[in-house]
Amino acid sequence: MKKTVKLNNGIEMPTVGYGVFQIPQEQTKQVVTEALNDGYRLIDTAAGYLNEEAVGAAINDSGINRDEIFLTTKLWVQDFGEEKAAKAIDGALKRLDQDYIDLLLLHQPFGDTYGAWRAMEKAVKAEKIRSIGVSNFQSFQVQDLMMHNEIKPVVNQIEINPLNPENKNVQWLKDNDIVPEAWGPMGQAQAGIFTNPILKKIAQDHQKTTGQIMLAWNIQRGVVVIPKSVHANRIKENFDVFDVELTDEEMKQIAQLDQNHSYFSGLLTPDTVRTLGNLKFDYQN
């Protein structure tokens, strides 16, 4: 199983990363350090997670060459617009205590995404950012963005798991040379996914856990995964998936789990757009 994928700008990105959503700042350095010690080289954070400082500290104290680590962060809606995004990029670099960021994403498809994207393009040219992409965008929004701007997104980070495989979106992204990246790759433990009999049987056959099978399934589809855990054994376990090769029959069995329903995003309602558009985080740029 592939350990990296080549982005449309030629940069290699790891296929398994460590996500730090909802991990408190005071715990983040420890768990990121554990992830790096276990072999992770992709770390995914965001301004809105309020733990960028701890992520940067873990990277700086790891003893690992910086060019071996692929660091992702995201701009929140309150910083969209060209001037605000330019300031926010410098703020992220300062909080992370880094000279550059490997991948910067627009966290949501709301507000002045065009202005923010222009600032991100300028940051790429200034070598502050190596790659730029989006998160939680619908494919038609990605199409619109890349038609009217200079730099094409390298990644769209969306909810993808066996219960919500996003088959059409994943295929469209791959057809357009944009890497699909899965947040919530294990379905946030919803709908009994960890005890699903199909996944349990496949896991037993491979002497793996159901979580490892879900990760391997996504990677085998060409999807980058960023599982999150604060438990040392799970952090290690989630990275131990590169020896899994699912058969065509097993892939078909997992495909039967598709419920064509997102449990978490719910981004296509006016109320959600209003809530996220008004959400402000207290961090300093």
Residues carrying an active site annotation: 49
Contact 85, 79 (CB under 8 A): yes
> Residue 64 half-sphere exposure, CB side, CA atoms within 13 Å?
22
Helix (H) or strand (E) holding 225: strand 224-225
Alpha-carbon distance of 49 to 154, in angstroms, equals 22
Alpha-carbon distance of 91 to 97, in angstroms, equals 10
148 marked among binding-site residues: no
Alpha-carbon distance of 195 to 170, in angstroms, equals 25
Give the dihedral sign, CA 137/139/145/146. Answer: positive
Alpha-carbon distance of 158 to 243, in angstroms, equals 25
Helices marked H in the chain: 25-37, 52-60, 82-96, 113-125, 139-147, 167-175, 197-206, 210-220, 232-239, 248-255, 270-278
Supply φ then ψ for residue 41, to 5 degrees.
-130, 0
* Binding residue numbers: 107
* Binding residue numbers for substrate: 107
